């Protein structure tokens, strides 16, 4: 593996991140040089410096091997998370070294979990940087850099292949270069539309931009301590539900819908399952909340249940109410949403609806084969037959997910967490949802966890974001020939 080439590409990603830090410093400057200006400017300079250094020695290379591509992607994520801590650390406040690392990883992995007890005390520039980390991470740090880097030839394909989920690529029927452009186009359009709609509904430009970035990346970072509950507006909640749901649908499908192609939103089996699942769960939760007298009217219960289901299924993690006070049925269903999450090829994390559908069909076929041993049954999604390697990949992923969830829960309980907190925090971090239940509920945060658990949480976030095997491969690099 050519480490120099890997360092050059990671350096490019760092320069890209430095540009965002500079933009955040611009926000601080616009806000009358608030206390975030100096940390952001300093961080931008240091990050740009670090990114530029490898370019002095390493020449441009268009050919990147698979192993190198993988190292670039994983390395970029890790280094992005490290440099992402700089503005927080320099600013100080609640950010100790571990807290800054947690907030940075939570942002880049679009988890949206926070250690901040007083978000509103942060200067505007730093809040913008916080949302920007989520926005960059939403589509992938490398993917963004690929758009601005011209003539990368084969390496573009190699890098995008490493960062995109394997099942996500199936729904794109384009070349890598086009896939990246589609992703960025849809992502940008969604963000701009959400910003304008939120502004129209009375948010300030600062809040609108931050919430739009956070919504479209399905991160869930808010500029307010009480998250979306602060605004107490049905219209804002509806806009956010729409944006969150769209952001959790395969971007290729969204693009196909906009451009009037065949594989559009209305023909997608996955999208049907995804939307249907959300609708059914929202209604069941609403009925359960009304029957348990948590809310007086069905309308109010449905409003909150729909928002929370959308927020959790899309892995955003915004909150309008404290879900810890909800009924056990509601909590169980929300945990199910935390596991399944959105569609592949979107900004959401978790197991993904695609894998759920394939797994369900594999189980159905297994039952049928037991009844009819000679039957030849195939697994089809959207009318496309899924080959055995895809099925194996899905099954392995599900098993790995369950195993890691158990290991994570065990680790949390080792440090004295109750079972509810331990299990939901593990799932919330692995699926990049953010809030769980118990101590880490929708109106709580991760600040009270011991430093070791914060570290474990960030590892889970990275594992989840890099689709488990992407991260685990890091420990088996030597055996990769």
Partner 1 sequence: MWNKIRDFFRVESLTTRVRLAFMSIIVLLLFSGAMSLLELERVSADTEEILMASKSNADLTNEMLTALEMQNDAVELMSIYGDDISTHRVNCELGIANLHQASEAARAIMQRTETPMAADSLVICAGNVNSHTKRYLKGEVESEVRLISEIDTLYSTQQWYIEVYKPAVSDMSHQIKKYMTGSHNTLGPDVNDLSHTARRAVTPVFITLVVMIAIVMMFYFFFMLYIVKPIKRIDRSLGAYLTYKMPFDDGIRSHDEIRRVRDKIAALISKIR
Instruction: Please select the residue that binds partner 1; options are 29, 30, 33, 53, rule is CB under 8 A.
Output: 53
Site for partner 1 in 276-295 (CB under 8 A): none
User: Which of the 8 DSSP states describes residue 35?
Assistant: T
Closest CA to 173 of 246, 274, 253, 247: 253
Cβ atoms of 341 and 348 within 8 Å: the answer is: yes
Three-state SS for 431? coil
Q: How far is the CB of 151 from partner 1 (least distance, A)?
A: 8
The two structure tokens encoding residue 448: 């009270």
Q: Which stretch binds partner 1 (CB under 8 A): 42-50, 183-191, 242-250, 394-402?
A: 42-50
- Counting every residue, how long is the chain? 481
User: Which of the 8 DSSP states describes residue 109?
Assistant: T
In the bound state with partner 1, the residue whose beta carbon lies nearer, of 39 and 252, is 39
Site string for partner 1, 55-94 (x = CB under 8 A): xxxxxx-------------------------x--xxxxx-
Going by C-beta distance under 8 Å and a sequence separation of 6 or more, which residues neighbour residue 220?
112, 214, 227, 311, 315, 316, 317, 318, 433, 434, 435
Q: How far is the CB of 132 from partner 1 (least distance, A)?
A: 19
In a 13 Å sphere around the CA of 112, the CA atoms on its Cβ side amount to 38
Q: Which stretch binds partner 1 (CB under 8 A): 50-58, 139-147, 341-349, 362-370?
A: 50-58
- What is the Cα–Cα distance from 284 to 248, expressed in whole angstroms? 22
In the bound state with partner 1, the residue whose beta carbon lies nearer, of 76 and 263, is 76
Q: Which stretch binds partner 1 (CB under 8 A): 1-9, 212-220, 444-452, 471-479?
A: 1-9
- What is the Cα–Cα distance from 52 to 15, expressed in whole angstroms? 7
In the bound state with partner 1, the residue whose beta carbon lies nearer, of 89 and 459, is 89
Q: Which stretch binds partner 1 (CB under 8 A): 36-44, 278-286, 391-399, 433-441?
A: 36-44
Q: How far is the CB of 57 from partner 1 (least distance, A)?
A: 4
Q: How far is the CB of 86 from partner 1 (least distance, A)?
A: 6
Site string for partner 1, 116-155 (x = CB under 8 A): ----------------------------------x-----
Instruction: Please select the residue that binds partner 1; options are 22, 23, 29, 46, rule is CB under 8 A.
Output: 46
Crossing angle between the packed helical segments 154-163 and 176-200, to the nearest 10 degrees: 60
The CA-CA-CA angle for residues 214, 122, 76, to 5°, reads: 50
- What is the Cα–Cα distance from 136 to 143, expressed in whole angstroms? 9
In the bound state with partner 1, the residue whose beta carbon lies nearer, of 47 and 194, is 47
Q: How far is the CB of 178 from partner 1 (least distance, A)?
A: 20
| Binding of partner 1 by 459 (CB under 8 A) | no
- What is the Cα–Cα distance from 132 to 297, expressed in whole angstroms? 38
Instruction: Please select the residue that binds partner 1; options are 19, 23, 29, 42, rule is CB under 8 A.
Output: 42
Q: Which stretch binds partner 1 (CB under 8 A): 40-48, 160-168, 219-227, 275-283?
A: 40-48
Cβ atoms of 321 and 308 within 8 Å: the answer is: yes
In the bound state with partner 1, the residue whose beta carbon lies nearer, of 10 and 289, is 10
Beta bridge partners of 381: 384
Q: How far is the CB of 270 from partner 1 (least distance, A)?
A: 38
In the bound state with partner 1, the residue whose beta carbon lies nearer, of 20 and 95, is 95
Site for partner 1 in 192-221 (CB under 8 A): none
Q: How far is the CB of 7 from partner 1 (least distance, A)?
A: 7
In the bound state with partner 1, the residue whose beta carbon lies nearer, of 43 and 191, is 43
CB 296: neighbour CB atoms within 10 A?
A: 9
In the bound state with partner 1, the residue whose beta carbon lies nearer, of 89 and 283, is 89
Q: How far is the CB of 288 from partner 1 (least distance, A)?
A: 47
Crossing angle between the packed helical segments 251-258 and 176-200, to the nearest 10 degrees: 80
Distances (CA, A) of 123 to 127, 234, 265, 440, 455: 6, 28, 40, 25, 26
Radius of gyration of the chain, Cα coordinates, nearest whole angstrom? 22
Residue 114 buriedness (CB in 10 A; 0-12 / 13-18 / 19+): buried
Site for partner 1 in 4-33 (CB under 8 A): 4, 7
Binding-site size for partner 1 (CB under 8 A) equals 26
| Binding of partner 1 by 376 (CB under 8 A) | no
CB 284: neighbour CB atoms within 10 A?
A: 15
Chain positions contacting partner 1, by CB under 8 A: 3-4, 7, 39, 42-43, 45-46, 49-50, 52-60, 86, 89-93, 150
């Amino acid at each position: 593996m050519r480490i120099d080439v890997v360092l050059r590409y990671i350096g490019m990603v760092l320069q890209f991140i430095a540009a965002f830090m500079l933009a955040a410093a611009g926000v601080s400057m616009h806000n009358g040089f608030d206390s975030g200006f100096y940390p952001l400017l300093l961080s931008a300079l240091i990050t740009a410096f670090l990114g530029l250094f490898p370019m002095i020695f390493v020449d441009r290379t268009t050919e990147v091997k698979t192993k190198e591509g993988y190292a670039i992607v994983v390395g970029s994520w890790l280094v992005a998370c490290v440099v992402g801590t700089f503005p927080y650390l320099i600013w100080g406040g609640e950010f100790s070294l571990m807290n800054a690392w947690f907030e940075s990883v939570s942002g880049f992995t679009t988890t949206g979990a926070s250690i901040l007890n007083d978000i509103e005390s942060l200067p505007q520039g730093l809040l913008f940087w916080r949302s920007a980390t989520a926005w960059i991470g939403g589509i992938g740090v490398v993917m963004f850099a690929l758009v601005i880097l011209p003539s990368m030839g084969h390496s573009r394909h190699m890098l995008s292949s490493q960062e995109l989920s394997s099942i996500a690529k199936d729904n794109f029927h384009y070349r890598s270069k086009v896939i990246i452009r589609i992703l960025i186009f849809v992502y940008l359009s969604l963000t701009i539309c959400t910003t304008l709609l939120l502004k129209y509904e009375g948010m300030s430009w600062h809040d609108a931009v931050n919430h739009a970035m956070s919504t479209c990346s399905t991160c869930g970072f808010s500029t307010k301590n009480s998250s979306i509950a602060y605004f107490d507006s049905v219209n804002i909640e509806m806009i956010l539900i729409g944006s969150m749901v769209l952001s959790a649908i395969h971007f290729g499908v969204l693009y196909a819908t906009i451009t009037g192609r065949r594989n559009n939103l209305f023909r997608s089996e996955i999208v049907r399952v995804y939307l249907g699942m959300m609708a059914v769960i929202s209604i069941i939760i609403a009925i359960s909340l009304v029957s348990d007298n948590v809310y007086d009217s069905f309308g109010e219960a449905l409003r909150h249940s729909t928002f929370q289901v959308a927020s959790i299924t899309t892995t955003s993690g915004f909150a309008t109410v404290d879900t810890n006070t909800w009924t056990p049925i509601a909590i169980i269903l929300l945990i199910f949403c935390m596991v399944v999450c959105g569609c592949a090829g979107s900004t959401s994390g978790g197991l993904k609806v695609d894998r759920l559908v394939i797994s369900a069909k594999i189980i159905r076929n297994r039952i049928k084969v037991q009844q009819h041993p000679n039957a030849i049954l195939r697994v089809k999604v959207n009318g496309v037959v899924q080959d055995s390697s895809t099925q194996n990949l899905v099954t392995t992923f599900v098993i790995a997910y369950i195993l890691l969830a158990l290991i994570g829960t065990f680790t949390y309980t080792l440090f004295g967490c109750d079972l509810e907190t331990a299990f939901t925090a593990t799932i919330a971090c692995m699926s990049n949802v953010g809030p769980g239940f118990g101590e880490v509920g929708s109106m709580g945060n991760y600040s009270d966890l011991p430093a070791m658990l914060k570290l474990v949480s960030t590892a889970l976030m990275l594992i989840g974001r890099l689709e488990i095997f992407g991260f685990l491969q890091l420990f088996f690099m030597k055996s990769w020939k």
